[in-house]
Amino acid sequence: MVLKIALLQLLPGSDLEEQFQIGKSACEKAKEMGADIALFPEMWSSGYSIPQDKDLLSKLEVSADGDFVQGFRKPAEELQMAIGITFLEKHVPKPLNSMMLFDRNGKIRLHYSKVHTCDFDAEKMLSSGDDFYVCDLDIGRGVVKIGCMICFDREFPESARILMLKGAEVILAPNACPMEINRLSALRTRAYENMLAIATCNYPKGKIDCNGHSTVFDGVAWFRDEPGVRDMCIFEAPEEEGIYLAEIDIDMLREYRKDEVMGNAYRHPEKYGELILSERRF
């Protein structure tokens, strides 16, 4: 089974209605390209705009059950394609940075809010999510276990590790920042150490503080019966705006996970007590 993911590396519009129309049109093109999933960059509803004024921020919030988010339910059903829509979610006391995944029947399969918000920067205006979730996504040719982490979540090994322990095979990772060698290396490492695929969708060059380079790492570092190693980065977009399709060989990943030594194979969780201590040491 091959999973086809369309990375919607798009420039944002000027308002919510334009965001919806651009997004809907992009999903239609993604389906024409053969995608099973269309993934948006981080916080598509506002084009990753986070005003530092509460009143201005509140004007950009959208409800999870409101017209913008739920507006992608019908295209998902009509196109028979999963859609991962991202949005600034209305929430008390502060909004959330969220993604909702509709399956090909228009049903909600995943609703995740960014756990590791960038509290040192603009995202201090946001609340953080409370957990990581994994769902079974039926793509018509089989079921894939899907998780989500958003942008800065990638910098914490615990994000992908928890998703792996919950069964994730593929992580969808909406993004809004410059994808340079260190951030790309973090994604590569998360995929390698957990033996899972990570699909990241970023905004293109032209969006402030973004540079495209949406990527897919498939998590397979080598083939047992072949010498040497392979590049897990099976796709990297250029800087330019576009809809980019990447294919993840799920069968190959599952075979690799059966025999290899990363992930959960040789962990010693009884020795990891320091990981759950809440105080900062430095």
Residue 191 lies in a domain: yes
pLDDT tens digit sequence for 21-53: 999 999 999 999 999 999 999 999 999 999 999
Residue 190 lies in a domain: yes
Q: What angle do CA 106, 94, 178 make, to 5 degrees?
A: 75
CATH number of the structural domain spanning residue 35: 3.60.110.10
More confident residue, 280 or 15: 15
| pLDDT of 123 above 70 | yes
pLDDT at residue 226, as a whole number: 75
Residue 63 lies in a domain: yes
Domains in the chain, number = 1
pLDDT tens digit sequence for 238-276: 999 999 999 999 999 999 999 888 998 899 999 998 888
pLDDT at residue 169, as a whole number: 98
The confidence band for 280, taking pLDDT boundaries of 50, 70 and 90, is low
- Of 162, 171, 180, 178, nearest to 200 (Cα)? 171
Residue 68 is part of which domain span? Answer: 2-276
Residue 23 lies in a domain: yes
pLDDT tens digit sequence for 183-218: 999 999 999 999 999 999 999 999 999 999 999 999
Kindly report the average pLDDT of the chain as a whole number: 96
Residue 233 lies in a domain: yes
Residue 113 lies in a domain: yes
Cβ atoms of 60 and 42 closer than 8 Å? no
pLDDT at residue 228, as a whole number: 79
The confidence band for 114, taking pLDDT boundaries of 50, 70 and 90, is very high
Give the number of C-alpha atoms closer than 13 A to the C-alpha of residue 235, restricted to the C-beta side: 22
Residue 281 lies in a domain: no
pLDDT at residue 49, as a whole number: 96
